[in-house]
Amino acid sequence: MPRPGPGQILLRVAACGVCRTDLHEIDGDLAWPGHPIVPGHEIVGRVVELGEGVEGFRRGDRVGVPWLGWTCGICPYCRSGQENLCPRARFTGYQIDGGYADYTVADARYGFPLPDVFSDEAAAPLLCAGLIGYRCLRMAGDARRLGLYGFGAAAHILTQVARHQGREVFAFTRSGDMAAQHFARELGAVWAGGSETMPPEPLDAAILFAPVGALVPLALRAVVPGGIVVCGGIHMTDIPSFPYKLLWEERRLCSVANLTRRDGDEFLPLAGRIPVRTETHPFPLEAANAALASVRSGTITGAAVLLMDPGRVQPGA
């Protein structure tokens, strides 16, 4: 049983989303942090104990814990609102034990209240798929025609946010994945097709959630002059060489790293107001390997979620 230190809260975990980043850790795509890892950074739990100096939470409060788990607060990035780039940052489920567990400890600064409209299971994917997707959307600016490459947990949430904002969504899936394309159209995408296919209209921006570097030139080809391509993953295979012409005419290529508390403060209430519907597939904790396998294979639509006590009735359900 972990104990909370100063500024920390001890949570009894109710649910934890299963993210592709967990696979990147397990597969060695991310550097090993030098100690055993308890994965999981889409945590929904309830406060059991408060560490010294914690304010704003009480025992029993429901809290969401995301990937960014600690920052120094004093570096130039932290002081300028770019805490996602803090060089000393520590991450939940990576340097900090995560949510594939019955209990976990979290920095209270990086715990978010969750809208009551969501059950524990439904809320879990919002803590990474939702938050990172929202940050990608912010990076895409005011793009009206938005392409989403890789239609998994993040894209199915982001489609609903984008449609709420009056944008048109073009969904790109694995070739022949008719189930994902049908799911995208159900959520309001105006078009869905294979990732190698050019959209019927030029895009103002494209967001890549699939960790496939070969999609970058395709996305650049699909966006208008002045358009932007946002790479939303923490890891991607190598980007192949491509002619400068694809980048010319002031097209922009950028990445998204982590998240900020501002992202959480903006996105989570917005998700509750829409309200976003998360498509989830529950697994008990002891089936975590099966849940990871489902994410690896792409055999599920939406998001896999571990439930620590599957029989318990959840608020918001």
d(CA 216, CA 102): 39
Nearest to 291 by CA among 94, 124, 110: 124
164 token code pair:
């709420």
Using CA atoms, how far residue 39 sits from 85, 172, 181, in Å, is 21, 29, 30
| Cβ-based neighbour number of residue 104 at 10 Å | 24
Q: What is the pLDDT of residues 19-46, one digit of tens each?
A: 999 999 999 999 998 999 999 999 999 9
CATH code for the domain defined by 130-255: 3.40.50.720
Beta bridge partners of 303: 280
Classify domain 8-127+279-307 at the CATH superfamily level.
Answer: Medium-chain alcohol dehydrogenases, catalytic domain (3.90.180.10)
Instruction: Give the bridge partners for 306, in sequence order.
Output: 16, 283
- Report the candidate in 128, 266, 143, 290 with the shortest Cα–Cα distance to residue 209: 128
This model's pTM is above 0.85: yes
Phi, psi of 157, deg, nearest 5? -75, -45
> Which residue(s) pair with 43 in the sheet?
16, 65
Cα 38–11–280 angle (5° rounding)? 70
- Please check whether residue 88 is in contact with residue 77, taking contact to mean a CB–CB distance below 8 angstroms: no
Spans of the chain, pLDDT less than 50: 313, 315-317
Cα separation, 286 vs 302, in Å, equals 21
Can you give the residue ranges of every domain in the chain? 8-127+279-307, 130-255
Strand partners, 169: 146
CB-based contact 42:123 (threshold 8 Å): no
Residue with structure tokens 């959480």? 264
End-to-end CA, the chain? 29
pLDDT at residue number 300: 85
pLDDT at 312: 56
- What is the rounded CA–CA span in Å between residue 303 and residue 209? 14
Q: How far apart are CA 260 and CA 131, in angstroms?
A: 9
pLDDT of residue 315: 47
Helix (H, G, I), strand (E, B) or coil at 313: coil
Specify the pLDDT at position 298.
Answer: 82
Report pLDDT digits (tens) over 150-199.
998 999 999 999 999 999 999 999 888 899 999 999 999 999 999 999 99
CA angle 218, 252, 20 (to 5 degrees): 60
Per the DSSP assignment, residues forming a β-bridge with 166 are none
Of 206, 64, 204, 57, nearest in space to 124 by CA: 64
Q: How far apart are CA 136 and CA 229, in angstroms?
A: 10
